Amino acid sequence: MTTSNVDESRIVYREVVEAGKPWMHEVKAGQHFRIVDLEGNQAVDTLFYNAHDHSERYSAADTIREQGNIYLTTGSVLQSNLVNPMLTITDDTCGRHDTIGGACSAESNTVRYAIEKRHMHSCRDSFLMALGECECNHGQQMTKDDLASNINFFMNVPVSPDGHLDFDDGISAPGRYVEMKAHMDVLVLVSNCPQLNNPCNGYNPTPVEMIIWE
């Protein structure tokens, strides 16, 4: 059950995001936000912004430095580029999440796989689509310049002692989730990853569910 320990009466929003699709929504300070991996091993590329000032956003570098760990899990505090806590991971049934592998793009598909992969749909494409369709919160326009280093929830990217990254088989499973509590009003931008060239989605992208509650 994706809401097994959530009081259904307190849920204010829930939506299933289809495979390969973008999603954008605001999570208010004090609210809880859960991403559910419905079918297992589905990477969810995610960016966070201060809903009132998009120039303040999730910072992988500050988060890694402050917690002394390249992986995210229960207790991790997601820091902004101004070193303000944006969200804290309060529950995690997957175990760890990547914050250095980045988002797939036409360029990375070409470099990592083959020139003919350049035109395959990518997370960067999804991010840009969402920004283009956004009715900007609080009157702020957003562009490609607002894209930063993202989190890859449910994605397994082990790092070797010499610094080499591998995109390995996932460690998630159907129904596993990651849950966060917002410390500020946060705009969440998601690409439900469409990648077909590595095992981050088990070569089969699938839906995920978003749940927000008071």
Number of domains in the chain: 1
Q: What is the pLDDT of residue 76?
A: 98
Mean residue pLDDT across the chain: 88
Q: What is the pLDDT of residue 104?
A: 79
Q: Which residues contact 53 (CB under 8 A, 6 or more apart)?
A: 140
Q: What is the pLDDT of residue 1?
A: 42
Q: What is the pLDDT of residue 118?
A: 59
Does any domain span residue 157?
A: yes
Does any domain span residue 77?
A: yes
Does any domain span residue 191?
A: yes
Does any domain span residue 1?
A: no
Helix (H, G, I), strand (E, B) or coil at 99: coil
Does any domain span residue 4?
A: no
Q: What is the pLDDT of residue 119?
A: 63
Is residue 136's pLDDT more than 80? Answer: no
Percentage above 90 pLDDT, the chain: 62
Is residue 62's pLDDT more than 70? Answer: yes
Q: What is the pLDDT of residue 133?
A: 78
Does any domain span residue 5?
A: no
| Residue 97 burial class via C-beta count within 10 angstroms: exposed 0-12, middle 13-18, buried 19 and up | buried
- What is the distance between the alpha carbons of residues 167 and 195, in angstroms, rounded to a whole number? 11
Instruction: Supply the range of the domain harboring residue 17.
Output: 11-211
For 29-43, 50-64, 116-130, 195-209, which range has the lowest pLDDT when averaged over its residues? 116-130
Does any domain span residue 65?
A: yes
Does any domain span residue 6?
A: no
Of 7, 11, 4, 9, nearest to 212 by C-alpha is: 11
Across residues 34-53, what is the average pLDDT?
Answer: 95
pLDDT digits 0-9 by tens, 74-111: 999 999 999 999 999 999 999 999 999 888 766 755 66
Confidence of residue 4 (pLDDT cuts 50, 70, 90): low
Half-sphere exposure of 177 (CA within 13 A, CB side): 22
Q: Which residues contact 55 (CB under 8 A, 6 or more apart)?
A: none
Across residues 157-162, what is the average pLDDT?
Answer: 83
Q: What is the pLDDT of residue 137?
A: 54
Structure tokens at 5: 């320990």
